[in-house]
């Protein structure tokens, strides 16, 4: 079936040529605004001066040409140079039949675009459990990966685990000193929670030592450097890097606890990965690269022996890429890791990093250095930057233990979903097992939707209670709409294939079909901008359009069989598009609710 905008564009180009002898610019049709009549709108101002006509005259001439040369154009109106085109019902009925016959309307098969993209997300530290900030990262990364697949790209979901460094040693040292052999099984605590407990314990004991040293006359800076716990943690890190057997064994044990905990949280969140990388394996990558860059003159050696690059001409600054003692810094590792990934996956076209906006500068530096080193694919590296998540009471702090733990949040969301569902009396006809699954589905859907409906670049305030509202701009509202449609379809029984009305009988039918029509374009835009909020806000609008249709257009009580079949077909397609759109956000929709 020909796409409406393509058909209108081709005809308009002919109109411009025949009426005004113009060959450009290419006409662009947009959705007509709600306050005007029509389906698609053309802005005619680019053609006014070369055509030597007024805006209204140009728009009217083009409108008349389209109406005369297309069986699908039913009429037009002109508003101050804007040409609003209305399509015949026949077009929308053909669209309904065409889209209804497609198994995944608006979704392209993965791998058909010829592009392969690696998308890195999560990237947790193994010294604490995942928290609300990680939740946004994971949900954003997983959703963008799914949207990119829906645009036909092959996607490799990657996770780089930060499993080494001073912060890891802090948890290890605190466990040695205060743990008394405690394990996840002995404490009946998830492994990541147990390790996080000792990270907090280290900070508490360290601050106490700093306070005591300050009281003895040291400055705060001196106290922080001389505190015995910090010195011991630094010594433990040196032993780890030297391969000390005892330290390495403790490191493996405690990291193992964390990985078991992470896997449970990932499973509950509904996210997964295709490849796993570990900083303990990658932190040395890039050191040889720095030496090669030094020989080429990309880097230079400073008086203290460290190696750096000057990026001030690009609005950045001088960046150390190797310390004076020969040890690597984060940028060194990231340089090596990026190159390693393009070597490992020869077909890789793009590398996307899902990391908070506090690292914007870091990635500008990283991509600039890769470009200066001569890697042509550097321009295909992208930082998917997102804003921080805050709570009504303010920011979270891991060291102080004032974070919203991801596991606690998931449990709270399910409990809130259960309470809200019971309060609304929506539990009839479910057994205990079905209700448990429903509460999980609603709670997780509410969490994911609330986070993903916000543009990733924006800082967001998360309020769990606000996210679960069956009548608001929420996931449960959309889930309930899908369940409502499924209920209608169950009552209707088998849907006949033939749809034979010659016209749509209600404006709500037409408006709903127009909204469904937009879905493929929304998927493309979301993929191009890496923005799940486009999908989230679209599916909310679709749910609203369906509910208006449901209330204004009788279905089961409709006396005309052909009209009833039409409305059932519209309902069925609406349910499928809602389900597809929500899956792009990682959200399941229930069959009943």
User: 3-class DSSP state for residue 588?
Assistant: coil
- 3-class secondary structure, 122: coil
DSSP-derived secondary structure letter, 359: G
Q: Report the C-alpha gap between 472 and 474 in whole angstroms.
A: 5
Least confident of 48-52, 346-350, 389-393: 389-393
8 Å CB contact between 555 and 488? yes
Per-residue model confidence (pLDDT) at position 425: 77
Rounded to the nearest 10°, the torsion over CA 14, 15, 16, 19 is: 120
**Residue % of the chain over a pLDDT of 70:** 96
What is the pTM (predicted TM-score) of this model?
Answer: 0.92
Question: What is the number of other CB atoms lying within 10 angstroms of the CB of residue 455?
Answer: 16
Cα 170 to chain center, whole Å?
Answer: 32
User: Is residue 142 scored above 80 in pLDDT?
Assistant: yes
The 10 Å Cβ neighbour count of residue 182 is 14
Q: pLDDT of 410-426, one tens digit each?
A: 998 899 899 888 887 77
Residue-averaged pLDDT of the chain: 93
Please report the pLDDT score of residue 389 as a whole number: 86
> What distance lies between CA 473 and its chain's CA centroid?
18
SS3 annotation, 495-519: CCCCCCCCCCCCHHHHHHHHHHHCH
CA 46/CA 526 separation, integer angstroms: 28
Query: What Cα–Cα distance (Å) separates residue 391 from each residue in 280, 395, 460?
Result: 33, 6, 8
More confident residue, 273 or 427: 273
Q: What is the mean pLDDT of residues 32-52?
A: 94
Q: DSSP states of 421-442 as a string? A: HHHTT--TT--HHHHHHHHHHH
Q: Which domains does the chain have, with CATH numbers?
A: 4-87 (3.30.1360.70), 165-271 (no CATH), 296-327 (no CATH), 406-584 (1.10.730.10)
Q: How far is CA 169 from CA 150, 190, 456, 496, in A?
A: 42, 19, 33, 66
Burial label for 441, CB within 10 Å (0-12, 13-18, 19+), is buried
Query: Any idea which of 307-311, 417-421, 422-426, 441-445 has the lowest mean pLDDT?
Result: 422-426
Q: What is the pLDDT of residues 55-110, one digit of tens each?
A: 999 999 999 999 999 999 999 999 999 999 999 999 999 999 999 999 999 999 99
Residue 327: per-residue pLDDT:
81
- Residue 385's CB is within 10 A of a number of other CB atoms, namely 17
Indicate if the pLDDT at residue 144 is higher than 50. Answer: yes
CA distances from 435 to 484, 485, 579, 588 (A): 17, 20, 20, 15
Element containing residue 451 per DSSP (H, E): helix 432-452
pLDDT one-digit tens code per residue, 464-497: 777 777 778 999 999 999 999 999 999 988 655 5
Give the span between the Cα atoms of 574 and 545, in whole angstroms. Answer: 10
pLDDT tens for each residue of 250-272: 999 999 999 999 999 999 999 99
């Amino acid at each position: 079936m020909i796409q409406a905008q393509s058909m209108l564009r081709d005809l308009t180009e002919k109109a411009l040529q025949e009426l005004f002898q113009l060959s450009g610019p290419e006409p662009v049709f947009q959705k007509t605004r709600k306050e005007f009549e029509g389906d698609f709108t053309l802005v005619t101002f680019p053609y006014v001066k070369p055509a030597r006509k007024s805006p209204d005259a140009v728009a009217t001439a083009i409108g008349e040409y389209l109406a005369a040369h297309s069986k699908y154009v039913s009429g037009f109106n002109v508003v101050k140079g804007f040409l609003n085109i209305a399509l015949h019902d026949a077009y929308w009925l053909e669209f309904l039949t065409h889209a209804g016959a497609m198994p995944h309307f608006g979704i392209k098969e993965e791998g058909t675009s010829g592009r392969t993209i690696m998308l890195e997300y999560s990237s947790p530290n193994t010294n604490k459990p995942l928290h609300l900030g990680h939740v946004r990262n994971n949900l954003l990364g997983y959703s963008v990966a799914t949207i990119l697949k829906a645009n036909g790209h092959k996607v490799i979901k990657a996770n780089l685990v930060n499993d080494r460094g001073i912060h890891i040693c802090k948890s290890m040292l605190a466990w040695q000193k205060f743990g008394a052999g405690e394990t996840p099984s002995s404490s009946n605590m998830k492994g990541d929670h147990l390790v996080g407990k000792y990270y907090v314990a280290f900070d508490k004991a360290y601050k106490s030592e700093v306070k005591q040293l300050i009281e003895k006359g040291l400055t705060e800076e001196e106290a922080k450097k001389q505190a015995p716990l910090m010195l011991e943690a630094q010594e433990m890190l040196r032993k780890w890097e030297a391969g000390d057997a005892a330290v390495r064994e403790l490191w493996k044990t405690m990291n193992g606890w964390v990985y078991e905990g992470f896997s449970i949280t990932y499973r509950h969140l509904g996210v997964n990965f295709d490849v796993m990388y570990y900083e303990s394996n990658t932190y040395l990558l890039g050191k040889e690269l720095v030496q090669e860059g030094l020989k080429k003159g990309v880097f230079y050696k400073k008086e203290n022996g460290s190696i750096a690059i000057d990026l001030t001409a690009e609005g950045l600054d001088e960046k150390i890429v190797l310390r004076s003692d020969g040890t690597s810094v984060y940028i060194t590792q990231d340089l090596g890791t990026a190159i390693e990934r393009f070597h490992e996956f020869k077909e890789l076209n793009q590398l996307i990093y899902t990391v908070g906006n506090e690292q914007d500068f870091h990635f500008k530096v990283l991509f600039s250095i890769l470009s200066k080193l001569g890697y042509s694919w550097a321009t295909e590296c992208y930082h998917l930057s997102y804003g921080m998540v805050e709570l009504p009471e303010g920011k979270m702090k891991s060291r102080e233990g004032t974070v919203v733990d991801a596991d606690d949040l998931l449990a709270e969301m399910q409990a809130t979903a259960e309470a809200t569902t019971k309060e609304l009396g929506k539990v009839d006809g479910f057994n205990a097992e079905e209700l448990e699954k429903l509460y999980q589905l609603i709670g997780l859907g509410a969490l994911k939707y609330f986070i993903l409906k916000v543009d990733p670049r924006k800082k967001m305030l998360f309020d769990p209670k606000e996210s679960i509202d069956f009548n608001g701009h929420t996931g449960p509202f959309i889930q309930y709409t899908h369940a409502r449609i499924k209920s209608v379809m169950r009552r209707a029984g088998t849907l006949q294939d033939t749809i034979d009305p010659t016209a749509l009988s209600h404006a709500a039918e037409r408006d709903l079909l127009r909204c469904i029509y937009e879905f493929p374009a929304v998927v493309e835009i979301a993929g191009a901008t890496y923005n799940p909020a486009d999908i989230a806000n679209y599916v909310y609008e679709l749910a609203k359009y369906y509910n208006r249709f449901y209330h204004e257009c009788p279905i089961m009580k409709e006396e005309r069989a052909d009209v009833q079949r039409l409305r059932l077909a519209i309902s069925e397609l609406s349910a499928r598009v809602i389900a597809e759109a929500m899956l792009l956000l990682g959200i399941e929709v229930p069959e009943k609710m």
